[in-house]
Structure 1
């Protein structure tokens, strides 16, 4: 198989070190090559297990665009806030002093940062998320990109004037060969392990739904999204690779992601795009209002039609569309919104769905759009600030990265972020799984509880079990 030749790596890094000496500034060196063999992305991820805590996985719906990052060449972290603007500033500065090959760019290939931002950095942090900073974006040393049936390998390294070229080239080359060894072999997950499920503050959550619904009926607020947690415990370690493999097979129309920090891993299969920027075009998704899938095609169609006519769900969806349209109009010159929602179906659930497209203003970046959109009313509520205050006051949960933006950004300013839902936090032999519901005035707390159970199924199934 073809990897990046050691002589090529040596030449580029040596040139980068000379540049660093010349300008008295660190230099980003990034070199990419298309490889001639199919690589299984989960196998590649597993081959990087000696870099636990420094691995990241991202797969777009349908699985035809996948990125796997191993090792940290550079990390953007914050414990004081999401700092979208600061991440963008540092990323632009890093790219200003860079040596990038090839010059012809392929989306998702070359210098790309991947990571996640917390749902609400102002919420008091608990020990549950102790291994994670408030936000974390990483530039991987080793990046596998699968796009348009092509397989690309990228090496990223930040060098200084005193960097030992021979030493770092030998280390990177050996590590890349180890990652690619037998990586063409499809990953086979072990069978799921038995585990027990513990409800966390179930009665309090049901009571909080009733309280918020009453406040909405009294016109104190329009919509609030309340999330809850279940804790899963096993006698065996939960293996990230096994869960990724099951999610890819069971949730092919979702974004599959995994972000590690320390010994913990945030992992999930989100059906919901937050924002994608491609050149001057931006794409977002309004996904709110849910119902189960049917056991037959006839029942499934009946349930879908019921959802399309349900006033509670239509109102919940309309709130989301209204807010996202407004945010898009601030950052785009032209915004296209369909008149009525359609259905978006994943394995266990179907949603009301409205896609929105905009032409991005020249002065607006991807992370600016992320900041304007997050959290949408589908994740927080409406109006935004009032909903966030209500969540901080009443929700018995530290969401951490759950429902926050997760995705990637390249050196051209393009990229994509999903929202980190249908997700869980793996911690050795335990895992916390999360789900939420949009509460409006006529919400029924027991029905909302049942909806959260439905939304927890994808991750429970990926762990190898069910309710």
Structure 2
């Protein structure tokens, strides 16, 4: 449906309406057109008036895919706990079987009825008010999707139809939505950061005590590693513009995944450096990202810090735990797994990490959702062993992580997609932003070093919000 004509659109809608009439059921039909590429941020901004609080944005660091979703043609959500991955996949399969109308149409990857959303980190944590708009699993199929892939632009329009619909009404609606591509002027300077009023690091003493308690448990060999997080609340003079935040993240964090998921009151936004899993046909890719150090103020200092990280036993042990767990999980679902022997460095604006990529060829029947269930949470986000570390997090952390450090991403109708972990992130609600940062605790961790590490990890979001000055060179 790339070179689609108006007649083909008419025929596709007409058959969908007929199908809905015959089955006495509402159908969702997708129309995909290849379009002249537009700046995705402009398209996101163009959707403000009609779709404010119902938008999402995604860009991977290689710019393989950029998505801007506007509106909600269909929503899948789950209140299940540990079964939230299975329940979401079951709903997705039911949707494709009973509700989606395609008439054997083939969609290019990343277009059409694409599903975007995420999961909670731990459904058994006590819920906090700033996660009210986020269920244990929440995914949307947008009314309008702009996809940029390998330099090409695609517009997907997803429409609910019933057997009584007038096809001309839908054709007029499609024409109106295509108008979002016309305005290509975007004055980024019109979006600015409101003034920062307060910046509150929440319960630092509790965090340092948690680090001490965790290291004690590790030294007693109760666990090998646990990841502990803390919060920072930033309050501004007026409501925070999501356009402004995305614009800053795209400019300042080009080596990270930029994402936002808007809701009625709360928006989850961030720039995560860490892929959890990507699926392309029969191949899957994951990332081991654990062990970190700050960036240097000069290139020489930065290189010295990188060498220090590559040879630091504490960070190498922390990284190796993640590599071991992800390899085990991939071995269970793949016929072959490729993984380098030694980590390299992965650098973002404010911090550099130990990095090991993983590639595997999946077994028949393996889906993204089954991989997500197996991988989440990795030792980089929860700890090791998984069950014991989650129990410790529930006892020690006095807040709900919500979607922080949890899978967020997309899957298309062909089964391809990608999920990252929602770190370097925060929840925006009007003029406030609640930010999260975590660190891996091992036997020789100290409260001082872990406090410093989490302080560095707050910087990407603080900078994007306008709460700090620019970072290193």
TM bracket (short chain): over 0.9
> 1:372-391 to 2 correspondence within 5 Å?
372-391=374-393
CA contact (8 A) 1:31 1:100 kept: no
For 1:42, the equivalent position in structure 2 comes to: 41
- SS at structure 2 position matched to 1:276: strand
Q: Does 1:194 align with 2:206?
A: no
**Whole-angstrom distance in 1 between the partners of 2:76 and 2:300:** 49
Q: Structure 1, unaligned stretches of length 5 or more?
A: none
Equivalent position of 2:68 in the other structure: 68
1:259 matched to 2:261? The reply is yes
Which residue does 1:323 correspond to in 2? 325
Counterpart of 2:153 in 1: which secondary structure?
A: strand
Q: Residue 176 of structure 1: which of 166, 175, 178 is its match?
A: 178
- 1:5 and 1:215 map into 2 onto residues whose CA distance is 65
Structure 2: distance between partners of 1:249 and 1:189: 16
Matched, 1:428 2:414: no
Query: How far apart are 1:102 and its partner, in Å?
Result: 9.2
Q: Residues 13-67 of structure 1, C-alpha deviation per residue, up to 9 Å, x if partnerless?
A: 221010122234433311111112x311112112212322321111011334200
Distance 1:190 1:263 in 2: 20
In 1, the alpha carbon distance for the partners of 2:5 and 2:144 equals: 14
Write out per-residue CA displacement over residues 222-256 of structure 1, whole angstroms, 9 at most, x where no aligned residue: 11100111000011211000000110011011100
Quote the Cα distance in structure 1 between the aligned partners of 2:71 and 2:212: 46
Distance 1:367 1:267 in 2: 22
Given that residues 32 and 107 in structure 2 are in contact (C-alpha distance below 8 angstroms), is that contact kept between their aligned partners in structure 1? no
| Counterparts in 2 of 1:419 and 1:285: CA distance versus 1, 3 Å | same
Identify the residue that residue 148 of structure 1 maps to in structure 2. Answer: 150
Alpha-carbon distance between aligned partners in 1 of 2:393 and 2:164, rounded to the nearest angstrom: 50
Provide the C-alpha distance between the structure 2 equivalents of 1:160 and 1:104, rounded to a whole number of angstroms. 22
Aligned residue pair count: 464
TM superposition shift of 1:381? 0.5
**1:118–1:23 CA distance, 2 compared to 1 (3 A):** same
SS class of match (2:288): strand
Q: Deviations over 1:163-190 (max 9, x none)?
A: 443334433432331x223135464463
TM-score with structure 2 setting the length: 0.94
SS of residue matched to 1:62: coil
2: CA distance, partners of 1:186 / 1:59: 20
Alignment of structure 1 residues 95-244 onto 2, 5 Å? 95-97=96-98, 98-100=100-102, 103-177=105-179, 179-183=180-184, 185=186, 187-188=188-189, 190-195=191-196, 196-244=198-246
SS of 2:88 mapped into structure 1? helix
Shift of 1:5: 6.9
**How big is the shift at 1:88?**
1.7
Q: Distance in 1 between matches of 2:229 and 2:461?
A: 15
Asked whether the 8 Å contact 2:425–2:435 carries over to 1, the reply is: yes
Take 2:361 and 2:443, find their aligned partners in 1: how far apart are those partners? 35
- RMSD of the TM alignment (CA)? 2.0
Is residue 2:95 matched to residue 1:94?
Answer: yes
Map 1:276-295 to 2 at 5 A.
276-295=278-297
Q: Is the 8 A contact 1:402 1:434 kept in 2?
A: yes
Q: More deviation in 51-60 or 153-162?
A: 153-162
What is the alpha-carbon distance in structure 1 between the residues aligned to residue 54 and residue 236 of structure 2? 25
Give per-residue Cα distances to partners, 1:392-449, cap 9 Å, x unaligned: 1110221111111010001111100010000010100110011000011110111101
Q: 2:276 touches 2:407 (CA, 8 Å); kept in 1?
A: yes
Q: SS at the partner of 2:62? A: helix
Residues 45, 417 of structure 1: CA spacing in aligned structure 2 closer, same or farther, 3 A cutoff? same
What per-residue deviation string (whole Å, max 9, x for no partner) do you get for residues 241-286 of structure 1? 0000110011011100000111211000000000000000000000
Assess if the C-alpha contact under 8 Å between 1:113 and 1:139 holds in 2: yes
After the TM superposition, which of the residue ranges 187-196 and 268-277 deviates more from structure 2?
187-196
1:342 and 2:341 equivalent? no
| Whole-angstrom CA distance in 2 between matches of 1:269 and 1:133 | 21
Shift of 1:218: 0.7
Structure 1 residue matching 2:71: 3-state secondary structure: strand
CA distance in 2, matches of 1:444, 1:11: 66
Aligned position for 2:370 = 368
